[in-house]
Amino acid sequence: MLSFFSKYKFFGIALLVLSGIIVYLFYNALQPKKTLPIYQPSMVNVELVDSTLYHVKKYHTIANFSLTNQNGRTITQEDYKNKIYVADFFFTTCPTICPIMTKNMADLQKHIINDNDVLLLSHSVTPQIDSVAQLKKYALEKGVNDAKWNLVTGDKKQIYELARKSYLAVKTDGDGGPYDMIHTENFILVDKKRRIRGFYDGTKEEEIKKLLEDLEILRASY
């Protein structure tokens, strides 16, 4: 009897392991896949939505843009076509939240450095101060990788309209005029179809962790 069990014990162990794998695979197959919401203006805090967009419940996407990066190169939606990206709004002379946001964006850059599907995009909210030379200086100081992360400047009205009407990132007061000023801690996750998939406080480590988790979910959906 003992010799019988000894003879077949490896077969039994192998069968047990195989059964465990099958159960695990069935369990995973039955679990609902995690998905991210597709944010529409009607789903966002009304203070962050331009009055012309209150009614929009579907099909909201980031508008076309043409801005200039830290290398003097024109950046448009074509540079982000079929890419996932994280966007924010900052200015190089900001002494409060921007240094923390830039540090956290640099940490994101480390996580995506070898991922060809993910990019970063930071818009200056003081384009009259943040010239190409100023952005380049800032980029070198902060370790910006030009292949992964564009810091952009350009027409102030265009940038402010993007913030308010596309990214739904800041309160709608103002018109992008010379005395208008926006200041937001939001990081915005955008998918390959230019749709908003998440908002995160770019000054908080736990929110950056959540962003990285959501990024994995979004990646897995393609």
Pick out the residues of the known binding site.
94, 98, 183
Binding-site entries for Cu cation: 94, 98, 183
Tell me which residue has tokens 């939240």. 97
Question: Which is nearest to 101 in space by CA: 173, 171, 164, 183?
Answer: 183
- H-helix segments, the chain: 2-30, 97-112, 132-142, 156-161, 205-220
DSSP, collapsed to helix, strand or coil, labels residue 19 as helix
Structure token digits, residue 133 = 């030379």
Structure token digits, residue 89 = 């709004």
CA 144 to chain centre: 16
The span from the CA of 1 to the CA of 3, in Å, is 5
Structure token digits, residue 141 = 């100081």
Q: Cβ(65)–Cβ(162) under 8 Å? A: yes
Residue 174 gets which letter from DSSP? S
DSSP, collapsed to helix, strand or coil, labels residue 194 as coil
